[in-house]
Amino acid sequence: MNQHMPPEPVNLFDIGAQRRRLGKSIDEAVARVMAHCQFVSGPEVTALEKALGEYCGARHVVSCANGTDALVMVLMAIGAGPGDAVFCPSFTFCATASPVARTGATPVLVDVEAATFNMTAESLARGVATAKKLGLKPKAVIPVDLFGQSADHDAIAELARAEGLFVLDDAAQSFGATYHGRKLGALADATTTSFFPTKPLGCYGDGGAIFTDDDDLASMLRSIRVHGQGTEKYDNIRIGMTGRLDTIQAAVLIEKLKIFDDEIAARNAVAARYARGLGNVVAVPKLAPGRTSVWALYTIRLPKGADRDGFAAALKAKGIPTGIYYPKSLHQQTAYRDFPVADGGLPVSEQLSSDVISLPMHAYLDEPAQEAAMLSALNERVAQTQALITFNGRGFDVPLLETRFTLSRLPSLFSDLAHLDLLLPARRAWRNELGSCSLGSLEYHMLDVRRDQQDIPGFLIPQLYREYLADRNPAEMQRVMYHNLHDILSMVSLVSRLCGAVDAPVNMGEYLAVGQYYENLGQLAEAEAVYSAALAKTTSGASYQRVLYRMADCLKRQNRRANAAPYWRKLAESGDGEAWIELAKHFEWHEVDLKQALACAQAAQALTRDHAARDEIAHRIARLERKSKQD
């Protein structure tokens, strides 16, 4: 019998869901270690090192106790010490720089790129110059691959070769990612990673590994890992440490590695949904060309001046956890603030530390839970927004209502009609100056809604404005500018009048405008009534399709998915791939009919041409097939 299944609680990470998936395989792997009792350097350690090398293409893999020890071991092996400069990004976890200080070398902190959060070659070059001015010898660079995406290894390697730097890649959060088709682990002189439990490939305790193609370095690392021993147990030929990986952890990792690629695909599907749902509201992370990510974290950026603590508290109140990685860059922390920084300072790192916040990210984040997270983030972000309407450099602050924008991010008209009078100065100025407007200054005469000099959030641009200018050439755009502004203001006035029940809507476009107005105010029942009245008047046409979509989405946002399903069905039967996906979600999570869900997903796949969307649908189909077999 079909029954409603409530969504699982949202977790920032979810090791438990993975544990349930692996089931007996983990129990049996650990039981084998308990049976042979080789808890240190057992056969599973050797087997894991071999499997990791085959996975990433590295000739040698040296497992160790944790990711921090991995960095320390490499720095010890290359002889880093007093007088040496080792370059680290400031926007990273302290475990990147602390091993440098522990060897006696000096960490020199450099800046990162805002889009990828990773070290820039330009700041590295300035850091090298700073080190030389201070009398330090440039020894090595540690380009962290933060949050799952690799740094720009080609640019860093080129500078490293010119300066004679050893490249030690800290891939603690990014093992499994690729850079121009090559997996991390086979790019740098040495690469380290961490198997901390919340990492994309994590064990059930601490663990780490080092990857290298250098035979001599690998031999030295194996010696350092066990007290610096030589060919005989009690012939220690160098200073070393106790840095071995426990056999039980190796056994766990062997089983996890078997499903690692599938989990990476699932993480990418989650990231793609976030990007679509939030990309017009906040700054979402971007993949640089030629790079993939394993999405250890999904870190967004709030606009300058936003209340990050309030944002986090509001989401927490709705059951959505968040994390801040990292609230202070290294040079802002007590232990590291006296170390040198690259000339020119670290402005990007400082800005990131003030505005980043991470949302739930793991391979088992189901869509109802993720939609709840996205909707909460949308609502809270919009509640904090201060839109700025600009004309010729003049600005007018227009506070937005606490509106609920749909996950489909359909642009709205201006949300706060009470501040419509603030547009009038711009309207008058347009009348006076558009006659002399040149194409070169066209951008100054466009009605924009901006956010702190960052990209314009698409959901704040009036839909009518965009549609009016669509498909027009630049010369024609100039001619219609004044009429466009007049039409926008007229439309806003019309919506206000209709919502006040002065007149009833007379066509589908006006029904849509009124319905979306109510949606933006969060008055979903009123919006539903408007769409219902519209659907009673017609049963075909493009406007009919748009009203169907708004009705279905409106019902979904009220958690009335069963009521929304017939509308999604009508859209799907007209060839709408997105509607088939919504039906697949409905049957998978609410009707618990996996056969129907699979059929809907396959129908969506047949209609979808976008490669990223097809990959996401393929992952959904694979998951549904796996769940069907389990049932």
Tens of pLDDT, residues 283-314: 899 999 999 999 999 999 987 777 899 889 88
Q: Is the pLDDT of residue 185 over 80?
A: yes
222-to-77, 96, 142, 240, 376 alpha-carbon distances in Å:
10, 21, 21, 10, 49
Q: Is the pLDDT of residue 486 over 90?
A: no
pLDDT band at 534 (very low <50, low <70, confident <90, very high): confident
Q: What's residue 317's pLDDT?
A: 84
Q: What's residue 459's pLDDT?
A: 32
Who wins on pLDDT, 4 or 154?
154
The arithmetic mean of pLDDT across residues 231-250, rounded, is 93
Domain 15-259, CATH number (from 3.40.640.10, 3.90.850.10, 3.30.420.40, 3.40.50.720)? 3.40.640.10
Lowest mean pLDDT among 97-106, 135-144, 190-199, 396-405: 396-405
Q: What's residue 507's pLDDT?
A: 65
Eight-class DSSP state of 476: H
Q: Do domains 15-259 and 262-382 have the same CATH topology?
A: no
Rg (CA), the chain: 28
Who wins on pLDDT, 420 or 315?
315
Cα separation of 307 and 303, whole Å?
Answer: 9
Is 419 exposed, middle or buried, given 0-12, 13-18 or 19+ CB atoms closer than 10 A? middle
Cα separation of 165 and 150, whole Å?
Answer: 19
Cα separation of 396 and 422, whole Å?
Answer: 7
The pairing of strands 60-64 and 208-212 is: antiparallel
Peptide bond into 326 cis (omega under 30): yes
Under 8 Å between Cβ of 47 and 175: no
The arithmetic mean of pLDDT across residues 350-354, rounded, is 95
> Which residues have a Cβ under 8 Å from the Cβ of 368 and sit 6 or more positions away?
7, 585, 589
Q: Is the pLDDT of residue 381 over 90?
A: no
Structural domain boundaries in the chain? 15-259, 262-382
pLDDT band at 200 (very low <50, low <70, confident <90, very high): very high
Lowest mean pLDDT among 91-95, 101-105, 395-399: 395-399
State phi, psi for 473 to the nearest 5 degrees: -80, 165
Q: Is the pLDDT of residue 26 over 70?
A: yes
Amino acid at 475: A
pLDDT band at 328 (very low <50, low <70, confident <90, very high): very high
pLDDT digits (tens, 9 = 90+) for 601-611: 898 888 887 77
Who wins on pLDDT, 81 or 386?
81
Residue (of 125, 135, 191) closest to 163 by Cα position: 125
Q: What's residue 405's pLDDT?
A: 26
pLDDT band at 160 (very low <50, low <70, confident <90, very high): very high
Cα separation of 323 and 359, whole Å?
Answer: 7
Q: Is the pLDDT of residue 371 over 80?
A: no
Q: What's residue 378's pLDDT?
A: 62
Query: Between vectors from CA 258 to CA 255 and to CA 264, what angle results, nearest 5°?
Result: 120
The arithmetic mean of pLDDT across residues 6-24, rounded, is 82
Q: What's residue 57's pLDDT?
A: 95
Q: Is the pLDDT of residue 629 over 50?
A: yes
Who wins on pLDDT, 301 or 4?
301
Query: Could you write out the DSSP letters of every residue in 337-399?
Result: TTS-B-TT--HHHHHHHHHEEEE---TT--HHHHHHHHHHHHHHHHHH-EEEEEETTEEEEEE
**Residue matched to tokens 């009833």:** 504
Lowest mean pLDDT among 85-89, 137-141, 447-451: 447-451
Q: Is the pLDDT of residue 17 over 60?
A: yes
Eight-class DSSP state of 194: E
CB atoms within 10 A of CB 137: 12
The arithmetic mean of pLDDT across residues 120-124, rounded, is 96
SS3 content of the chain, % helix, strand, coil (to 5): 50, 15, 35
Who wins on pLDDT, 495 or 592?
592
Q: Is the pLDDT of residue 472 over 70?
A: no
The arithmetic mean of pLDDT across residues 90-99, rounded, is 97
Who wins on pLDDT, 27 or 461?
27
Domain 262-382, CATH number (from 3.40.50.300, 2.60.40.10, 3.90.1150.10, 3.30.450.40)? 3.90.1150.10
Q: Is the pLDDT of residue 575 over 50?
A: yes
Residue (of 102, 189, 191) closest to 145 by Cα position: 191
Give the count of alpha carbons within 13 A of 584, CB side only: 25
Lowest mean pLDDT among 160-174, 379-393, 436-450: 436-450
Query: Could you tell me the sign of the dihedral formed by the alpha carbons of 55, 61, 66, 67, in that order?
Result: negative
Cα separation of 76 and 71, whole Å?
Answer: 9
CB atoms within 10 A of CB 409: 17
Query: Could you tell me the sign of the dihedral formed by the alpha carbons of 70, 71, 75, 78, in that order?
Result: positive
To the nearest 10°, the Cα dihedral for 186, 189, 194, 199? -50
The arithmetic mean of pLDDT across residues 269-288, rounded, is 85
Query: Could you write out the DSSP letters of every residue in 98-155?
Result: HHHHHTT-EEEEE-B-TTT-SB-HHHHHHHHHHHHHTTPEEEEE----GGGB---HHH
Is 391 exposed, middle or buried, given 0-12, 13-18 or 19+ CB atoms closer than 10 A? buried
Who wins on pLDDT, 349 or 375?
349
The arithmetic mean of pLDDT across residues 613-624, rounded, is 82
Mean pLDDT of the chain, nearest integer? 78
Cα separation of 106 and 109, whole Å?
Answer: 9
Q: What's residue 119's pLDDT?
A: 97
Helix (H) or strand (E) holding 544: helix 542-557
Under 8 Å between Cβ of 294 and 200: yes
